[in-house]
Amino acid sequence: MLALAGVVAIGCSSSTNIAGAPALATGNASDASVVEGGIIAADVVDSTAEASAIGVDAALDEGSRECAVDAECPSLATNPANCAVVTCTSKGQCAYAAKDADGDSHRAIGCKSNVTGVVVELGDDCDDADPDTHPGAWDGPGDATHSAHCEDGIDQNCSGADGDDALADGTTCACKPGDTSTCSEDSGGIPIAWPLDHPVGRCRFGAKTCAVNAKTNRAEWGSCVGAVAPAQESCNGGVDANNHRRLPLTGCNLPYRQLEDHEEEPQDAR
pLDDT per position as a tens digit, 32-51:
333 333 333 333 333 333 33
| 173 and 222 both lie in a single domain | yes
171: in domain? yes
| 43 and 17 both lie in a single domain | yes
| 38 and 84 both lie in a single domain | no
- Checking if the pLDDT of 113 tops 90, the result is yes
Residues 165-190 have a mean pLDDT of: 95
Q: What is the pLDDT of residue 235?
A: 58
Q: What is the pLDDT of residue 243?
A: 58
Residues 12-34 have a mean pLDDT of: 36
Residues 68-89 have a mean pLDDT of: 94
154: in domain? no
145: in domain? no
What is the spatial distance between Cα 253 and Cα 266, in angstroms, rounded to a whole number? Answer: 19
| 56 and 79 both lie in a single domain | no
Contact 265, 245 (CB under 8 A): yes
Read off the pLDDT band of 198 (50, 70, 90). confident
CA 179, 185, 190, 196 dihedral sign is negative
Which range has highest mean pLDDT (192-196, 225-229, 243-247, 256-260)?
Answer: 225-229
Structural domain ending residue among the three candidates 87, 103, 121: 121
| 111 and 26 both lie in a single domain | no
Q: What is the pLDDT of residue 197?
A: 85
What is the residue-averaged pLDDT of the chain? 74
| 173 and 270 both lie in a single domain | yes
Q: Which long-range contacts (CB under 8 A, 24 or more apart) does 33-36 make?
A: 34/9
| 59 and 79 both lie in a single domain | no
| 19 and 93 both lie in a single domain | no
Read off the pLDDT band of 164 (50, 70, 90). very high
Structural domain ending residue among the three candidates 65, 86, 110: 65
Read off the pLDDT band of 181 (50, 70, 90). very high
| 33 and 75 both lie in a single domain | no
- Checking if the pLDDT of 105 tops 80, the result is yes
Per the structure, the complete domain to which residue 31 belongs is given by 2-65
- Checking if the pLDDT of 254 tops 50, the result is no
Structural domain ending residue among the three candidates 46, 65, 84: 65
10: in domain? yes
What is the spatial distance between Cα 107 and Cα 64, in angstroms, rounded to a whole number? Answer: 27
98: in domain? yes
Q: What is the pLDDT of residue 206?
A: 95
| 110 and 193 both lie in a single domain | no
What is the spatial distance between Cα 57 and Cα 49, in angstroms, rounded to a whole number? Answer: 12
95: in domain? yes
- Checking if the pLDDT of 135 tops 50, the result is yes
Residues 110-130 have a mean pLDDT of: 95
49: in domain? yes
**Number of domains into which the chain is organized:** 3
Q: What is the pLDDT of residue 234?
A: 61
| 245 and 180 both lie in a single domain | yes
- For residue 84, give the nearest of 52, 122, 116 by alpha carbon: 122
- Checking if the pLDDT of 227 tops 90, the result is yes
What is the spatial distance between Cα 129 and Cα 113, in angstroms, rounded to a whole number? Answer: 20
88: in domain? yes
Q: What is the pLDDT of residue 83?
A: 96
- Checking if the pLDDT of 24 tops 60, the result is no
| Side-chain half-sphere exposure of 40, counting CA atoms within 13 A | 25
| 173 and 224 both lie in a single domain | yes
- For residue 57, give the nearest of 86, 33, 35, 80 by alpha carbon: 86
